[in-house]
Amino acid sequence: MHYFITGTDTNVGKTYVTSLLLQSLRRAGKEAVGYKPVAAGDRMDAAAILHACQDPALSLDDVNPVFLKAPAAPHVAALLENKRIDLNVLRSGFEKLTQTYETVLVEGAGGWEVPLNDIMTMADFAQALALPVIMVVNNKLGALNHTILTVRNIQARQMQCAGLILNHVADERDTASISNRAVLERFLDVPVLAEIMHGETELDWPL
């Protein structure tokens, strides 16, 4: 089974969560790999995913076929290099991995609807892959609006949101971070798969 990992925004911990999920699958003896189709600004996230895969047969280009230098939305970063992101290239990279690995975790760039080119967004790419979506939520004030909007967009596309993972990016707790889970469970018909406290280094595969 393969999954698409998205988030409420950029810097919500998608790579951190993806890496923990990969490590959990590997501990369970699963052939699992991460895939970061587009990286912009640097390849640190892709390198972290490659490290979590623990597979010497994989290269950084296998995990991340498209790298753009500018730290911007993929579409903007590509324009600055006079390039256009071809979704067929992204899809072929994914399909190549599925021929070898039983689970591929595809990590998006930025948030759900970040533009990839002049006509398509990351959400369109996820929809083309027809994968269930795991959503990483930065558990803070403002997360409710972003999470509910994103989940409802996923469902409006007739896609499955497999669940939410609440990530405590900051060590401090406040009213929002304490209450968000209960509110999301009340307003959405998707499960909260896990809640990751700040600094946690291990996560059991939740599905």
Active site residues: 36
Handedness of CA 44, 50, 53, 55 (dihedral sign): negative
For residues 13 and 168, give the distance between their C-alpha atoms in angstroms, rounded to a whole number: 9
Q: What angle do the packed helices 87-98 and 122-129 form, to 10 degrees? A: 40
Per DSSP, 96 falls in state: H
3-state secondary structure 175-205: HHHHHHHHHHHHHCCCCEEEEECCCCCCCCC
Q: Could you give phi then psi for residue 85, rounded to 5 degrees?
A: -70, 125
